[in-house]
Amino acid sequence: MFVMVKYFSLAAFFVGLIGFLFYTNLCNFSNKFYAYIEDFYYELDKEYDYIVVGAGSAGSVIASRLSEDPNATVLVLEAGGFGCSLLDIPAIAPLLHGTIFDWQYKTIPQNYACEAFENKVSFWPMGKLIGGTGRLNNMMYTRGHPEDYKSWYTGLPDFDYHRDILTYFKKAENQAGIYLNDSEYHSSNGPLTANDLTFVSELYEAVVTTARDMGFPVRDINSQFSTGFSQPQVNVKSGSRFSTGHHLLQQYYRPNLRIKTFSYVEKIMFKGNFEAYGVKHRLFNKLYVTKARKAVILSAGVIGSPKLLMLSGIGDETHLKHVGIPPIKNLPVGNGLQDHISSGFDLILLDKLLSVSFYSLSSLINILQYFLQSRGPLTTVGCEALAILNTNCLNETIKYKDCETKYRKPDFELIFMPIGISTDHGIHFKNIINLRKDVWDEYFTKLSGSYPINILPIVLHPKSVGTVRLRDNIPSTTPIIDPNYLSDQSDLDILIKGIKFVKKFVEAPAFLNLGAKFNKIPFPGCTHLEFDSDEYWRCYVRQVSFTLYHPVGTCRMGQEDAGENVVDYEFKVIGMNKLFVADASVMPSLVSANINAAVVMLAEKAADIIKNYSRLSTGFCHVREIFFKLAICTVL
């Protein structure tokens, strides 16, 4: 009987996958048709106050905030389409990887990591539609640690976390869950929904019971505490994903806001090589130049923004000349790339099926429950619990509270997922992570008959730093992405400590009740090493090095004169006028959390600054700004 259910579910999933791919193409086609008709019938203004490039997590917020002023005209140029509502079923997020809604970026082959992946290449999905990557991410809402932000603003001596950061987290948040009454740390008027999970499996209870037994706190990590164990809040409303892109679409009726989809921006236009006055963008193979009176704001993401700056002549002079672009400003664009790296696929095997499983996701009852009640396994985001900790606090001899005071900033995260890579029997997951076929055959197929789950340790503050560079001067060419994973040995050490902690964690009684066993099958490429030795895990981590999809830092924000920054603390491109960058690319370093909430917080901050900045820098002031700071300029 079970075998029949299994094969029926497999067949249902396979048919569903094909149906879904058909649906995505149909959706994109109808989106394109709408954009075509709109472009054909409406004569668009050729000049706006603001042009926002990219309607992703950050750009959607900036466009929405700037267009709150009815006297300001705002144009949003987005390379993708609007999307369709079925894409917003939380559990199907992984199906969007590799589709037309994904830029489908890939890293170059890694020297120190990703050995179990085809050509040692890591796949980097990024959203190409309204809502951007916030439309295909895992929706977890986490803010990070105050110390993260303090380290960004070392150049501002009067930096205050509550005033300069928490204010914007609250402004950005639309709390719809259990923290609705905590007005000190939460708020419910912002564009980004934060809600409780409505469905979890038995895994969650096992995690919190074990965490408490081991002396760890279980609490809201988006409050005065930023560490401990927690059930993540998610960007989900009435059972559907609700990203900042959805919020932007709700503002579509504003007469001063125009959202142009399928508009790929190829170049920023400059007056006198210092002042942005518009952009060149392509829509259905026609090139347009649209002007911006007050500012051009790049929110094209961690790859799109540095790429566009470089294509426009802003970047490392030597590199730009090498690819045939005349440089207009020498800035370290594309340096400082960091990403959260993790490891540990299918290391925990259960002897029972959890209620959030591959089978339950494709069951007819659960599909009906989702469409009729907006509840059930299809609302799952793939992660049921997380922990943000410091590796020094994993030792049982130290009380967590004392340890937390001593080591303020966390250095690793754990995410608890009720499914593994092999749960879908190789239909989809192995492809979206680019797993080598021989590794699949030799290792993962052996797990058939057991029920793997993933507890992934993540390096929160990797020391390995990489780059984004252009291949050539053609706008449609994908850039060279090299995160340089695990080039710093200390990142590897944290992952090894993390895996060892996971091994200990699942020995607890609550996990034994689920029949949890640590997977002792030697991993291909490491079979010559003694299982569980440090050498074995070092080898394993270099094989299984998996992105958590949080790249940042390619247009670093910081002090103007530090030499390593691209934008100043006001998001303005250093030495340029009327040109801003605000998205994940400006983060000077990774935060101790999944990063979307921080990206949206930054967008709120940027919108506030840009509104104010543009108010001050009208008239001829902007000319004087080249010689004087804005404050001096406005007095003159």
Ligand X SMILES: Cc1cc2nc3c(=O)[nH]c(=O)nc-3n(C[C@H](O)[C@H](O)[C@H](O)COP(=O)(O)OP(=O)(O)OC[C@H]3O[C@@H](n4cnc5c(N)ncnc54)[C@H](O)[C@@H]3O)c2cc1C
Q: Which residues bind ligand X (CB under 6 A)?
A: 53-59, 77-80, 125-128, 132-134, 136-140, 264-265, 299-302, 304, 308, 549-550, 583-584, 594-597, 599
Q: Look at residues 206, 540, 622, 535 and name the one whose alpha carbon lies nearest to residue 342.
A: 540
Write the DSSP symbol of residue 164: I
Shortest distance (Å) from residue 102 CB to ligand X: 8
Please give the structure tokens belonging to residue 619: 């008239």
Shortest distance (Å) from residue 536 CB to ligand X: 29
Would you say 194 or 393 has its CB closer to ligand X?
Answer: 194
Instruction: Give the angle 515-520-522 at the CA atoms, nearest 5°.
Output: 155
Q: Look at residues 288, 173, 193, 269 and name the one whose alpha carbon lies nearest to residue 236.
A: 193
Shortest distance (Å) from residue 540 CB to ligand X: 23
Shortest distance (Å) from residue 460 CB to ligand X: 13
Secondary structure of 244-263 as H, E, C letters: HHHHHHHCCCCCCEEEECCE
Would you say 116 or 601 has its CB closer to ligand X?
Answer: 601
Q: Look at residues 79, 20, 1 and name the one whose alpha carbon lies nearest to residue 361.
A: 20
Write the DSSP symbol of residue 577: B
Shortest distance (Å) from residue 207 CB to ligand X: 17
Would you say 134 or 239 has its CB closer to ligand X?
Answer: 134
Residue nearest to ligand X (CB): 56
Please give the structure tokens belonging to residue 373: 């009640």
Would you say 516 or 599 has its CB closer to ligand X?
Answer: 599
**C-beta separation of 416 from 458 below 8 A:** no
Buried b vs exposed e over 519-528: b needs ≥16 C-beta within 10 Å? beebbbbbee
Does the annotation flag 133 for ligand binding? Answer: yes
Would you say 296 or 633 has its CB closer to ligand X?
Answer: 296
**C-beta separation of 230 from 386 below 8 A:** yes
Shortest distance (Å) from residue 188 CB to ligand X: 19
Residues contacting 517, CB < 8 A, separation 6+: 348, 349, 350, 351, 450
Number of H helices, E strands in the chain: 20, 27
Work out the number of other CB atoms within 10 angstroms of the CB of residue 591: 26
Work out the number of other CB atoms within 10 angstroms of the CB of residue 393: 20
Beta bridge partners of 349: 452, 517
Would you say 134 or 553 has its CB closer to ligand X?
Answer: 134
Shortest distance (Å) from residue 117 CB to ligand X: 16
Residue appearing with tokens 């429950």: 369
Would you say 129 or 447 has its CB closer to ligand X?
Answer: 129
Shortest distance (Å) from residue 526 CB to ligand X: 27
Q: Look at residues 473, 516, 544, 604 and name the one whose alpha carbon lies nearest to residue 170.
A: 604
Would you say 96 or 361 has its CB closer to ligand X?
Answer: 96
What backbone phi and psi angles, to 5 degrees, belong to 549?
70, 40
Annotated binding-site residue numbers: 133, 265
Annotated binding-site residue numbers for FAD: 133, 265
